[in-house]
Every structure is written in structure tokens, then in C-alpha cells.
Amino acid sequence: MAAMEAYALGGRLGFHLPGHGGGPGLPAPLDRLLRKYGAALDLTELPGLDNLSAPAGRLEASQREMAGLLGAGSAYYLVNGATSGLEAAMLAMSEASVPTIMPRHCHTAIYNGLILTGSKPLILPCDWDGEWGLPLGVDRKAAEARLKENGPPDKALWISVNPTYNGILADLAWERGIVTTQPKWGWLADEAHGIHLPFGNEIITEEQHLSALRYGAHTVVQSAHKMGAGFTQTGILFCNLVYKILVHSVKDKNYCIFFRRHTMQAFNRQHFFDA
């Protein structure tokens, strides 16, 4: 506690997570509530506050509003970070017999998802900036050659990273061109660093949308605590309106057993396939 107090009072200007910057970036009503009530706001599933495990009141309405705001079919709040949403989506959208086509520079959450699902990866090479040591996104030529050499699988889960940790956007038009030719492929976009992307669209042309939600990715996972003002570990999983793909037939598994309480009670396979 002494270390945290020293840090908070140290007068440093932080450019690290979470995006509220220790307070200045919080929405005014939340800032006001926190200052006024402090720990009294640390509340759980109490009457009138709804229950994230089975939302049927304010949380449910808020998730619906969030989905509507971004034009998605449904939204699920996460309290174990984008990590939990990515792994849950992988469990819902693939399995050992469904390969995962993924850029080399995916986050550990995706690599861990492979362990959970047993899916085999087909790793797409990425361009690399040797001077700065940065991954620059999928090397399209090399990726096309890799896909050709393997032959497109009948079923697969395609993963996008949009943007990278360093803020480099994926070429979503190119990715859409590949995924939409495959009716049995699922498309999951890791937008952990892109919660701001759906809101930038008015400043660019119709063809240059920034979020994979607009490109029709079936599921998109965003962290609220990176480029947004959410508290640490908050995130959102979106299912798109157009998600009609049955990647495989097991429909009744409920992944809450892996992500107890925080995420998956509100998010089982049924949600995906009915979205």
C-alpha cells in the first residue's frame, strides 16, 4: 500500500495502462462518484444492480446499448481482460479438428487459446521493422503463398490483430477478401488496442473503416483499459449481426466453467450461434 501511495502521489505523468491515466481520463460522472463514495462503490450482485453471470437488468440493457452503439449483434462485458474474451471466443469457434490461421505476432492469449482448443495453428509470416524491432502486420505475399501451399482448409478460424501493440492496423480489406470466400471459416479479431477504432470512422472514407466490426468479423474483442478509460482488466466481446457460421456441431458447451463468473455465464455457444 505504501508503494501504491508513493506512486499515486509521485506527480508522474503516466502514459501506461489504464487509459484513464489515474483519473483525468475518467468520464465525469464516474470520477464524481468515485471521489464521493470511494470503496462504498465496490459492489457485487446486489438487488437492483443486476448480475454479470446472468444479466437481466441494467447490465443486460447496457450490453445491448453497447452492441447497438457499434452496430454489433451482441456485446458481453469482460472483467478478465480481452484475454478471457479471446480465449472464450476461440473455444466457441474452433476445436482440435479446426485449424487456426493466425499472424505470427498474435498475443499470448491466442497462443494459450490453442492449448485450450487443441487447434493446430497455421502461422502467417509478418513484416518486420528491423531498425525499431516492430512487427508491421501480416506479410501478405508470404501469407498468400503459405495458404496456397497448404490449400485452404474446409473449416478454420481466422485471427486478425487490429491494431498491434504498437498501433499498426491490419489490412482488413485484404483479410475480408480471403475470409469471405470461405463459408465455413470463422473470423475473430483481436482489437485489444482498438476500442477507439469504431469511433474514428467519420474522419475517413467509407472504404477505410478502422474496426473489424465494420468489416464483418464474426467476433471482435476489445480491451476497455488500454485505449479506453475502463478499469484494469475490463473488456468487451462483440458478436456481429452477420455471424451465421457453424464452424462445428457442438452447440451446447458452456464455457463459463473456464472463465468462472466473470465472463462466460453470459456468453455460451448458444449466444454465438444464434447471434
Ligand X SMILES: Cc1ncc(COP(=O)(O)O)c(C=O)c1O
From candidates 52, 72, 138, 192, binder to ligand X by CB under 6 A: 192
In DSSP terms, 208 is beta-bridged to none
Site string for ligand X, 213-232 (x = CB under 6 A): ----------x---------
Edge-to-edge, what's the strand order for the sheet holding 185-191? 74-78, 235-239, 219-223, 185-191, 156-161, 100-103, 121-124
Task: Show contacts with ligand X in window 166-185 (CB under 6 A).
Answer: none
From candidates 75, 88, 161, 197, binder to ligand X by CB under 6 A: 161
Report the 3 state secondary structure along the chain.
CHHHHHHHHCCCCCCCCCCCCCCCCCCHHHHHHHHHHHHHHCCCCCCCCCCCCCCCCHHHHHHHHHHHHHCCCEEEEECCHHHHHHHHHHHHHCCCCCCEEEECCCCHHHHHHHHHHCCCEEEECEEEECCCCEEEEECHHHHHHHHHHHCCCCCEEEEEECCCCCCCCCCHHHHHHHHCCCCCEEEEEEECCCCCHHHCHHHCCHHHCCCHHHHCCCEEEEECCCCCCCCCCCEEEEECCCCCCCCCCCCCCCHHHCCCCCCHHHCCHHHHHHC
Asked if residue 111 binds ligand X (CB under 6 A), the reply is no
CB of 85 vs ligand X, minimal distance in Å? 8
Q: Count interface residues toward ligand X (CB under 6 A).
A: 12
Cβ proximity to ligand X, 80 vs 240, nearer residue: 80
Per CB under 6 A, the segment of 48-56, 57-65, 93-101, 186-194 that binds ligand X is: 186-194
Cβ proximity to ligand X, 92 vs 106, nearer residue: 106
At 32, the amino acid letter reads: R
Site string for ligand X, 63-102 (x = CB under 6 A): ------------------xxx-------------------
Cβ proximity to ligand X, 186 vs 235, nearer residue: 235
Cβ proximity to ligand X, 224 vs 247, nearer residue: 224
Cβ proximity to ligand X, 115 vs 203, nearer residue: 115
Cβ proximity to ligand X, 150 vs 166, nearer residue: 166
Cβ proximity to ligand X, 94 vs 233, nearer residue: 233
CB of 184 vs ligand X, minimal distance in Å? 25
Spatial CA neighbour of 175 closest among 225, 224, 227, 211:
211
Cβ proximity to ligand X, 95 vs 190, nearer residue: 190
Asked if residue 126 binds ligand X (CB under 6 A), the reply is no
CB of 32 vs ligand X, minimal distance in Å? 26
CB-closest chain residue to ligand X: 81
- Using CB under 6 A, list all residues that contact ligand X: 81-83, 107, 109, 161, 165, 190, 192-193, 223, 235
